[in-house]
Structure 1
Amino acid sequence: MAQVLPLSIAQLSQMLLVEQQAHPYPWDEATLASCFGRFYQQLGLFDDNAQLIGFSIMQCLFEEATLMNICVKPSEQGKGFGKLLLEQTIASLKAQHIEVLLLEVRVSNASAIGLYRHLGFIETGSRRNYYHTAAGREDAMLMELKLHCDIQA
């Protein structure tokens, strides 16, 4: 059974491999390394053989968190691992009394948008021409999830 555990900078090379497989325009090693700073948290998704198959990176400031990156190796996608990783990420943030989780996603990433909506995220806006594509640029959809019911809109 897959397991979600905190990551350390020592696992950076493993994260980079997953990142390069999962994203058409992956972050480089320096960008991933910069996400081990003071305001960041990382969770890894490990398979039965203790191999990293996915990860999430959150930036947490006060009562707000931003999902900076989440990915699962393409060979492991469609098996519920992305949902498991995101649910564990949300549970971790709730335990820290984070009130809202923000994210941005490519408008063309229908499977991710479907997962986010299924877990209660709502669309809050967009960023025009935010992501690189082979044909140029595409928009980002902004989404958020309120993590505690007592938050006023």
Structure 2
Amino acid sequence: MIIRELGAEEVGLLAEIDISVNPSAWSIENYLDAINNENQYILGIFDELDILIGGITYSSVLEEAEILQVCIASKEQGNGYASQLFNHLFDTLINSGVTQIFLEVRSNNIPAINLYHKLGFNIIAERKNYYRINGKLFDALVMAKSI
């Protein structure tokens, strides 16, 4: 596995993965905006054939970071790639002086919530009816981790 920052020419591939697995996916424009924002970063994870299989987008300002978007290709889910991506990110953030990481997740996304708990995140708040997907409203859970 190789984990590295993505360039603008690669975010289209990540957007395709995101759209295929996430009901609240980012568009390619969202990813390009992140690339062009000095406080936002995108890490991609690649398999042994150098094929992009997922990514994590985050912002970092002073001692706080926020996970903005995470996706792993459906055929690669359950293989530990998201954990590898997060652990790489934790190391990166620790080295840059970050002490607190936040993220938000749909309350019905049980696999993601379980992963985040396993990685040391705790629920700190709930936002009622925050997500609208296919005409249905879902709560958002705000989670945090100290590093």
Residue 151 of structure 1 aligns with which residue? none
Is the Cα–Cα contact under 8 Å of residues 45 and 54 in structure 2 kept in the other structure?
yes
Residues 47-62 of structure 1 mapped to structure 2, 5 A cutoff: 47-62=47-62
Could you give the per-residue CA deviations for residues 71-123 of structure 1, whole angstroms, max 9, x where no partner exists? Answer: 10111001111111111111111111101000000111111111111111111
1:142 aligns with 2:137: no
Residue 25 of structure 2 aligns with which residue? 26
1:95 aligns with 2:108: no
Residue 150 of structure 1 aligns with which residue? none
Could you give the per-residue CA deviations for residues 19-42 of structure 1, whole angstroms, max 9, x where no partner exists? Answer: 111212321111111111110111
Residue 5 of structure 2 aligns with which residue? 6
1:63 aligns with 2:63: yes
For structure 1, which segment, 10-19 or 53-62, has the greater mean C-alpha deviation from structure 2 after superposition?
10-19
Residue 118 of structure 1 aligns with which residue? 118
1:83 aligns with 2:83: yes
Residue 44 of structure 1 aligns with which residue? 44
Give the 4+ runs in structure 1 shifted more than 3 A: none
- The CA distance in 2 between the partners of 1:18 and 1:125, in whole Å, is 29
- Secondary structure of the corresponding residue to residue 35 of structure 1: helix
Residue 131 of structure 1 aligns with which residue? 131
Structure 2, unpaired ranges of 5+: none
Structure 1, unpaired ranges of 5+: 148-153
Matched pairs, number: 146
- The CA distance in 2 between the partners of 1:39 and 1:52, in whole Å, is 23
- Secondary structure of the corresponding residue to residue 108 of structure 1: coil
